[in-house]
Amino acid sequence: MGHGLNGLNRSPRGKLPIVIPEGQIRPSEHFIVAKYATEINIAARNHVPVLTHWKLYKDRPAEIETFLRILRAKFNIDTNDAVVKNGCLEMMKSAVRQQRHKLKKDFFDPFPLHLVPKTSPVKSTTNDEWIALVEMWKNPKKWRLVKRTKVTEAMFFYIKQLAPIATRFLHKI
C-alpha cells in the first residue's frame, strides 16, 4: 500500500502544493490527500511524543512547530494561513490519537499490569510520558468507561444485525 506515493515528491515539479479549502482539514485532490495523510502519520509517529491528552500539546508549542516544519520540508505549504494550520493540527491530532490507540493495543492490553513495559517503546516519547500513559490506561475510571463502551457497541451491532432479519420475517407474514 502506498508504493506509488514515494515518487510524487520526487517529480521535476518539486514539492507538492497543499491547498486546504475553507472548512476542510485535507486537500481536495485524491492523490495529494493520500501523500499528505501518509506523511503526516509518518511525521507524527517519528517526531511527536504521545501525551495523555491533546490539551497538553498547547503547553508545548515547540512540538507543534517541529511538526509544521517537517510538513514545510515535504510540501509546498503555507503554515501561517489559519485554515491550513488548523487542518494540519487536526490531522496531527488524529494521528496522535491513532498512535496512542495502537500503543495501548500493542504494549498494554495483551499484558498483565506487572508485565507492562516501564520504559517507552517509542523513541519520541520519554519514559515519564510513557509512565503517565500507562497510569492513564490503568485508571479504574478509564477501565469502567472502556467496559461500558464495549457493551454499548456490542448492543448496537446486535441490533444492527437483527434489523434485516426482523424485516425479512415481517414481509413473510
The mean of the pLDDT values for the chain is 86
Question: Which stretch of 18-27, 65-74, 127-136, 150-159 has the lowest confidence by average pLDDT?
Answer: 150-159
Strand locations in 59-158 (E): 75-76
Per-residue confidence band for 81, with pLDDT thresholds at 50, 70 and 90: very high
Total-model pTM? 0.77
Q: d(Cα 24, Cα 11) in Å, to the nearest integer?
A: 26
Helix (H) or strand (E) holding 156: helix 140-172
| Burial track 104-124 (b if 16+ CB lie within 10 A, e otherwise) | beebbeeeeeeebeeebebeb
Helix (H) or strand (E) holding 80: none
Q: d(Cα 93, Cα 97) in Å, to the nearest integer?
A: 6
- pLDDT tops 90 at residue 162: no
* Phi-psi group of 2: left, alpha or beta (phi > 0 → left; psi -120 to 50 → alpha; rest → beta): left
- pLDDT tops 90 at residue 73: yes
- pLDDT tops 60 at residue 4: no
What pairs with residue 16 in β-bridges? 75
Higher-pLDDT residue of 124 and 148 is 124
Per-residue confidence band for 173, with pLDDT thresholds at 50, 70 and 90: low
pLDDT given for residue 59 in this prediction:
93
Phi, psi of 117 (to 5 degrees): -60, 140
Q: d(Cα 73, Cα 71) in Å, to the nearest integer?
A: 5
Q: d(Cα 130, Cα 124) in Å, to the nearest integer?
A: 10
- pLDDT tops 90 at residue 164: no
pLDDT tens per residue across span 82-129: 999 999 999 999 999 999 999 999 999 899 989 999 999 999 999 999
